[in-house]
Amino acid sequence: MILNGLATELSGIVVSLNGILTGFCQLLALFVIAIGVTRALIIFIKDALFQAQATDAFQRGRLVMGYSFSLALSFLIGATILKTMISSRWDDIARLAAIIAVRTVLNYLLLQAISKATPEVQQISNPAET
């Protein structure tokens, strides 16, 4: 009887902590996206107003946002895993698998775009090295 009460109490604590961690991961993702968008906007506005190469500023801004989105997707995948950890229904687990697959593909495509664009931006930024 005492063990049953203890198990119920611990279960409630785990569910509460899981909710807190899930919310925290989602909040971090939101924060990272906001910072990335702000940084990209600052880069673009500063370079577009004060330098002649607006395309370079656009590309560097996209890279900053790409890194931010990639990190935010990782936080969101973690939040989804935490959320599904509590549920033991198969439809929740299938939904988790689908969400992780889509977010992983998005993250992969973002990283591919970043790695392709990085040498171009470095070459534009440092023409003396070529």
Matching residue, tokens 């902590």: 17
More confident site: 32 or 62: 32
Q: Whose structure tokens read 């577009």? A: 48
Indicate whether 45 pLDDT > 90: no
Return all residues near 122 (Cβ < 8 A) that are at least 6 apart.
Answer: none
| Packing angle, helices 90-125 and 54-86, rounded to 10 | 160
When the pLDDT of each residue in the chain is averaged and rounded to a whole number, the result is 80
For 10, residues 6+ apart whose C-beta sits below 8 A from its C-beta are: none
pLDDT in tens, 73-129: 889 888 888 888 877 778 878 888 888 888 788 878 878 877 887 665 555 444 444
More confident residue, 130 or 79: 79
